[in-house]
Amino acid sequence: MACAPRTSVVRSLKVNDTGYASTVFIGDLIDFSPVTYVFAVQREIPVFYGDEGHLSAYSLYSAPLPIGRQEPAVQMDVTNTSPVISVRDVRVVAISAASMVQFGSVRLIRADARVKNIRQLLRGLPPK
């Protein structure tokens, strides 16, 4: 850990919804690596063929993740004046795909969410 571990105390937490590969974590964490691949086809007339959704047909799912620019390491000393991370009341409406809400320390996060949306609309019909 970059900092000395501390105790996380949360008085009240309400989460309405968590998406795929998402989490709520209270405490210290070394590594968090959620991955979500979504393939969504929306049709004006709901027809399902049964053989759709082969992710290998789309380069989006196999392309390497871009890596951000690496900054040089920074030397620092941290002195926590309190051994406790204290949180009162938190309300979260939603945690989306490959994401997190955390109370504590984390050393490394690698989150990967890839979404392909296809909308198939009818042509030639007047709008409703």
| Beta carbons within 10 angstroms of residue 59's beta carbon | 7
Domain ranges of the chain: 7-65+82-120
- pLDDT attached to residue 127: 61
Q: Measured between alpha carbons, how far is 19 from 53 in angstroms, rounded to an integer? A: 20
- pTM, to two decimals: 0.70
Measured distance CA(10)–CA(76) in Å, rounded: 28
Residues 21-66: tens digit of each pLDDT: 899 999 888 999 999 999 888 888 888 888 888 889 999 999 998 8
Residues 6+ apart with CB under 8 A from 128: none
pLDDT in tens, 2-15: 556 788 999 999 99
- pLDDT at 1 (0 to 100): 45
The contacts of residue 109 (CB under 8 Å, 6+ apart) are 31, 32, 33, 100
